[in-house]
Amino acid sequence: MNDERPRRLVILVASPRRNGNSAALADAALRGARAGGIEASLHFADDLMQGFLRDCRQCRDERGRCRIDDGYAEFFFEHFLDADGLALATPVYWYGMSAQAKAFFDRMFCFVARSYPDSQDVRTRMQGKRVALLTASEEMYPTIALSLVNQMQEYARYTHSQFVGTVFGQGDQRGAVAGDPQGALEAAEALGRQFFERPHADYRIDSVR
């Protein structure tokens, strides 16, 4: 990462609702990040992807590029890879992340696979980011978002990244997360503001303490 420029945070809303609870959490994180002097941008997955991952060995063009003609590749290279952090905002759908959120991670494979000519550069640039999860559901029992947290944590460990926080909001109607009794929007704003300052600890048996 280049320490001479402001740290960059990409916030991705993986919900089809532009004014839903996931978007509200993302907006709060964006406000907090900008208030904290972070260069932050917000994007909607529906604007970037019009299809799921295909068989890259059959789909690539003669130069190894993805043939799916939507906005994913541009976002991946010009925003995600250049960012120092990613905050994913997704609703809880069937006790997991939305299809848009899963497709965002699945589509990375096209550029990570060895059949992509610059895959090593992509792998290098994917590593070392900070990642966080913003999620909401109408149910509020403690483990409702556990599978999402686990997937984000495993992604972070796989890419040598740091999973720095989760904000869960409860809302049974569009925008109802604003009334979350635990103050989800305030928590999301705080996460955005402190995104690159929050302590992170993931000790191993050989960690120096």
- Tally Cβ neighbours within 10 Å of residue 101: 26
CA–CA distance, 13 with 97 (Å, rounded to integer): 11
Of the chain, the percentage scoring pLDDT greater than 70 comes to: 96
Of the chain, the percentage scoring pLDDT greater than 90 comes to: 44
- Tally Cβ neighbours within 10 Å of residue 205: 4
Nearest of 42, 30, 37, 43 to residue 7 by alpha carbon: 37
Mean pLDDT of the region 150-170: 91
Choose from 155-164, 170-179, 199-208 the range with maximum mean pLDDT. 155-164
Confidence of residue 127 (pLDDT cuts 50, 70, 90): very high
pLDDT at residue number 198: 86
Confidence of residue 133 (pLDDT cuts 50, 70, 90): very high
- Strand, helix or coil at 139? coil
Angle between helices 184-193 and 21-35 (to 10 degrees): 40
pLDDT > 90? residue 25:
yes
Average pLDDT, the chain: 87
pLDDT at residue number 3: 56
Nearest of 162, 55, 166, 157 to residue 106 by alpha carbon: 55
pLDDT > 80? residue 60:
no
pLDDT at residue number 86: 97
Which domains are delineated in the chain?
A: 8-193 (3.40.50.360)
pLDDT at residue number 57: 72
Residues 87 and 134 sit within 8 Å (Cβ to Cβ): yes
Lowest mean pLDDT among 64-68, 100-104, 204-208: 64-68
